[in-house]
C-alpha cells in the first residue's frame, strides 16, 4: 500500500484486480476544496489509457513489479525469445506482449522486461536506439511538398520519416516512444 503522495511515473497500481501503470500525474491544490491527484494510467495488459482522479493522501494498492535486464535473442516464428542476463533463463513472449517494441529491437540488444508474480507484463526499451537505414528513395533538392522529409525503412523493418538528405546505410538515432528521427549518428 502507498498513498497518492508516493505516486511516480512508472508506478504500477492494483486497481479492482487489474494492473495499471502511471504514465503522468499532477498534484492539484485548488483554491477551494480538498487537494487531489490527477493521473493518466495505462492498463498493463490491454494498453488502454484512462484518466483517473484520486483524493490527496488516500491509500492505494501498488503491485510489485520486477524489472529485469534481458537480452533479445531471436524471433522464433511467432514468439520473441529473451535471455535473462543474470541466470541465463530464456523467456518466450508473444507479439502482443512485445507490441511496438519489436519495431526497434535488434538481436542481442538488452531491454527491460517487467514481471509481476512470474508473469511478463511488457517490454521496455531505452528511450533512444541507433539503427541503420536499409532503404530510402533519393531526396530531390528543392522538393519541399512533404515538409522536407521522406519515408525510410530501418534494419528492423520499421518505417520512419527522415530528412531528404539521408541515404541508405546511414546510422540514425530514433525515439522508441514516438518513432521520431532524432539525428544522424557519427561513426
Q: pLDDT category, 141, cuts 50, 70, 90?
A: low
CATH number at residue 50: 2.30.30.30
Averaged pLDDT score across all residues of the chain: 86
Residue 79's Cβ-count burial label (10 Å; 0-12, 13-18, 19+) is middle
- Has residue 146 got a pLDDT over 60? no
Residue 35 grid coordinates: 487537494
Per-residue pLDDT reduced to its tens digit, 61-90: 988 888 889 999 998 888 999 998 888 889
117 and 164 part of one domain: no
Counting the structural domains of the chain, the total is 3
Together in a domain, 115 and 140? no
Domain closes at, from 60, 78, 102:
60
Considering 60, 78, 110, which residue would you say is the last residue of a domain? Answer: 60
Q: Which of 60, 78, 98 is the last residue of a domain?
A: 60
| CATH code: domain of residue 149 | 2.40.50.140
| pLDDT attached to residue 36 | 92
What distance in Å separates the CA atoms of residue 58 and residue 2, rounded to the nearest whole number? 8
Q: What tens digit of pLDDT does each residue of 111-128 get?
A: 998 888 888 888 888 888
Give me the domain span that covers residue 46. Answer: 2-60
Contact 176, 126 (CB under 8 A): yes
Helix-strand-coil split of the chain, %, nearest 5:
5, 50, 40
Task: Check whether residue 77 and residue 118 sit in a common domain.
Answer: yes
d(CA 22, CA 7): 8
Do residues 9 and 55 both lie within one domain?
Answer: yes
Amino acid at each position: 500500500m502507498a498513498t497518492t503522495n508516493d505516486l511516480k511515473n512508472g508506478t504500477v497500481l492494483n486497481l479492482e484486480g487489474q494492473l495499471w501503470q502511471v504514465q503522468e500525474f499532477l498534484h492539484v491544490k485548488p483554491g477551494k476544496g480538498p487537494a487531489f491527484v490527477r493521473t493518466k494510467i495505462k492498463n498493463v495488459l490491454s494498453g488502454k489509457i484512462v484518466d483517473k482522479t484520486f483524493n490527496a493522501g488516500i491509500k492505494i494498492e501498488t503491485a510489485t513489479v520486477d524489472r529485469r535486464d534481458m537480452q533479445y535473442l531471436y524471433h522464433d516464428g511467432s514468439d520473441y525469445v529473451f535471455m535473462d542476463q543474470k541466470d541465463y533463463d530464456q523467456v518466450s513472449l508473444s507479439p502482443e506482449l512485445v507490441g511496438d517494441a519489436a519495431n526497434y529491437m535488434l538481436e542481442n540488444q538488452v531491454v527491460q522486461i517487467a514481471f509481476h508474480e512470474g508473469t511478463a507484463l511488457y517490454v521496455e526499451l531505452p528511450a533512444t536506439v541507433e539503427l541503420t537505414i536499409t532503404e530510402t528513395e533519393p531526396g530531390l533538392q528543392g522538393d519541399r511538398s512533404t515538409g522536407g522529409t521522406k519515408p525510410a525503412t530501418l534494419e528492423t523493418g520499421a518505417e520512419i520519416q527522415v530528412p531528404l538528405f539521408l541515404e541508405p546505410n546511414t546510422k540514425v538515432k530514433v525515439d522508441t516512444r514516438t518513432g521520431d528521427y532524432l539525428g544522424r549518428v557519427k561513426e
